[in-house]
Amino acid sequence: MVLGLSKYVFPEGFLWGAAASGTQTEGAASEGGKAKNIWDHWYEIAPERFYQGVGPAETSDFYHQYKDDIKRMKDINMNSFRTSISWSRLLPDGVNVNQEAVDFYQNVIDELIDNGVKPIINLYHFDMPFHFQEIGGWENRKVVESFAHYAKTAFQLFGDKVKLWTTFNEPIVPVEMGYLNDFHYPCVVDMKRAVTVAYHTMLASAMAIEEYRKTKQDGEVGIILNLTPSYPRSEDEEDVKAARIADLFFNRSFLDPSVLGEYPSELIELIKEHDLMPETVEGDRELIKSNVVDFLGVNYYQPRRVKKKESPIDDSQGILPSHFGDPYIWPERRMNPHRGWEIYEKGLYDIAINIKDNYNNIPWYVAENGMGVSDEERFMDDSGMIQDDYRIEFYQEHLKWLHKGIQEGSNCFGFQVWTFMDNWSWLNAYKNRYGFYRVDINTQERHLKKSGLWFKEVAKHNGF
């Protein structure tokens, strides 16, 4: 590849990297002074819920192998990496700092910087400390205040070197998976409680941003949202309304307050209409309005396709988002059969234009994009390298649409994949692999895949 012949060249200084989380990569779940989080607890009481019985203690061992792994990042020309601090590792009792954790995260940050890899540090990635969950987790405003203390502590400890922070990764996911179905602990199905959890999470993000601004440090703070463009089946008024409500619940419930400083009026009216309003405290509205993000991270995997409600409504568990519309199968869709997700690359372009047109063209980056495939050993050649051309094609097609959005003025500054190496993924454990590096979970050895070689060239030439 020669830069002058590259068709898709990205802006100067563009970030090329990968994303991960502490719980999914560190391992060492009971080492180094770490307290239990909800995943450690859930695995203790229900290991059968996890694919092949693999729990968070058996993740990719980044806690011990970070130096070699960061060297591997440099080897494929990554210039950025996003991971998360484990709240229950840094502050095991929620108040006092664990020096072993400080040393670990300082070493990781230093190693990244020394290898020319910009650290982007996220504060919360689905990993509520269990002792806080026991008092209600995000349902309890005391936990919101404890999060602000945690954020302040992290900024003070690491903010001299970390210049890009994010408060939450995909905050809608613990709401949806933990309080609207049973795929995340605490496995509650109750929309009123879900709304409270979402609201308190948004307050926690705003409080963390407020704490960052108080530090007067010279970095920026944002949030990472998984945006799923909601496409109606047709222009029929009821189909369009169903898609708009899905967008309100799953995208704009965090996007609008994070970037614009206020909730959509239509969402507030809908919540009030169904008696789902959370308790508010004087000053909440001003807190959210005055602490919007500096930048936005966007995770994009698949679209949401919606039609008017046609299936029978089961109201045995009260009102739920599914009561406002049904999923719709687009006749032209292409699927990732391993993950069960639609592949729709243009969705990334639509997100880019939406941010440009409706969200002040805020600086943003693709914080996750990836293709999970099971049993990847099927695609291994005689040398031991997985020939994941399907993943290369997936990234190329998404990058073409992202490039188009940037050409049309969307203010995107980076593209990070999920993920650098195969890692543990909640209930799915190691079922679906996403990494540039294959991880043998029996030996913890890493092996580069073909997609890693492709990415090495793309990052080197800032395009393809």
Kindly report, residue by residue over 148-189, the tens digit of the pLDDT. Answer: 999 999 999 999 999 999 999 999 999 999 999 999 999 999
Give residues with Cβ within 8 angstroms of 442, minimum separation 6. Answer: none
Q: In this structure, what token pair is assigned to residue 26?
A: 């560190």
Task: Tell me the per-residue pLDDT of 292-311, one tens digit each, with 9 for 90 and over.
Answer: 999 999 999 999 999 999 99
- φ/ψ (deg, to 5) at 26: -65, -40
Q: Which of 110-114, 191-195, 338-342, 369-373 has the lowest mean pLDDT?
A: 338-342
Predicted local distance difference test score (pLDDT) of residue 337: 85
Identify the three-state secondary structure at position 253. helix
pLDDT value at position 303?
A: 97
Measured distance CA(1)–CA(450) in Å, rounded: 16
H-helix or E-strand containing 438? strand 437-440
- Please state the length of the chain: 464
CA gap 97, 428 in Å, rounded: 32
**Rounded to an integer, what distance in angstroms lies between the CA atom of residue 126 and that of residue 111?**
25
pLDDT digits (tens, 9 = 90+) for 244-294: 999 999 999 999 999 999 999 999 999 999 999 999 999 999 999 999 999
List phi, psi (to 5°) of 258: -70, -40
CB 86 within 8 A of CB 39: no
- Provide the percentage of residues in the chain whose pLDDT is more than 70: 99
pLDDT(129) > 70: yes
pLDDT of 36 above 90? yes
212 contacts 218 by C-beta, under 8 angstroms: no
Q: How many helices (H) and strands (E) does the chain have?
A: 16, 17
User: Distance between CA atoms of 7 and 439, rounded to whole angstroms?
Assistant: 33
Of residues 26 and 442, more confidence is placed in 26
193: left (phi over 0), alpha (psi -120 to 50) or beta: alpha
Q: What is the pTM of this model?
A: 0.96
Nearest residue to 125 (alpha-carbon basis) of 193, 24, 26, 49 = 24
What CATH number should be reported for the domain whose range is 3-461? 3.20.20.80
Place of tokens 């996750």: 368
Token readout for 166 is 């994010």
DSSP string spanning 57-124?
A: GGS--HHHHHHHHHHHHHHTT--EEEEE--HHHHSTTSSS--HHHHHHHHHHHHHHHHTT-EEEEEEE
Cα 317 to its chain centre, rounded Å, is: 28
Q: How far apart are CA 11 and CA 403, in angstroms?
A: 9
Q: Do the strands 164-169 and 230-232 form a parallel or antiparallel pair, or are they unpaired?
A: unpaired
Which token pair is 272? 């009030």
- Give the list of residues 6+ apart from residue 428 with CB closer than 8 angstroms, or none: 51
HSE of 393 in the Cβ direction (CA atoms, 13 Å)? 7
Dihedral Cα 389, 375, 386, 432, nearest 10 deg: 70
Pick from 359, 355, 337: nearest CA to 347:
355
Residue 269 in tokens: 């009216």
Cβ atoms 79, 459 nearer than 8 A: yes
Active site members:
170, 368
User: Which two tokens mark 310?
Assistant: 């046609």
User: Which residue type sits at 446?
Assistant: R
- CB-count burial class (<10 Å; 0-12, 13-18, 19+) for 269: exposed
**Whole-number average pLDDT of the chain:** 96
What does R_g of the chain's alpha carbons equal in angstroms?
A: 21
- 87 has pLDDT over 90: yes
Facing residues of 336 across strands?
341
Predicted pLDDT of residue 5: 59
Query: 76-95 in b/e burial notation, b at 16+ Cβ within 10 A?
Result: bbbbbbbbbbbbbbbbbebe
6-28, pLDDT tens digit by residue?
799 999 999 999 999 999 999 99
CB 296 within 8 A of CB 363: yes
Domain ranges of the chain: 3-461
The per-residue pLDDT for 316 is 85
Question: What confidence tier does 1 reach under pLDDT thresholds 50, 70, 90?
Answer: very low
Tens digit of pLDDT for each residue in 212-255?
999 999 999 999 999 999 999 999 999 999 999 999 999 999 99
d(CA 183, CA 128): 15
